[in-house]
Copies of this chain bind each other. A is one copy, B any other.
Amino acid sequence: MKVIHYTEAAGQTFNNETVQGVTGRVVIGGDDGAKNFCMRVFTVTGGGFTPKHSHAWEHEIFVHAGRGRIFRAGDWGDVTSGTVLFIPGGEEHQFQNTGSDDLVFVCLIPSGVAEI
């Protein structure tokens, strides 16, 4: 059994024209023997955003902390601590942190694609 605090996992920070203020951590993945799905935790600083993109695989997401909004079906919806999102493969999506505190969400993907 692996037990860590998510902040103990190595973080990879993304800042370019399509993504701002995002740090991602693979907290459970193939290296742990997880064969079916992979857990990542993302932190988005105030005003930051993830890329607006789509891909073939699904996301299962739980928002742990902070406030933000999610782009879906051409519009925006609010998310906050405790929000759950299921994003099927092929659906365009983007997170934005609309607050000043970090937006922290857990995002799971199936095994077999890049873990981060």
Q: Which A residues contact B (CB, under 8 angstroms)?
A: 1-7, 9, 27-28, 32-37, 39, 41, 58, 60, 62, 64, 70, 72-73, 77, 79-88, 91, 93, 106, 108, 110
Contacts and interface: CB of A to CB of B under 8 A. Distances in A.
Number of copies: 2
B34 A37 contact: no
Contacts of A36: 36-37, 58, 110
Contacts of A4: 83-84
Contacts of A5: 80, 82-84
4 shortest A-B CB distances, which residue pairs? Answer: A2-B86, A36-B110, A37-B37, A27-B84
A27 to B, nearest CB: 4
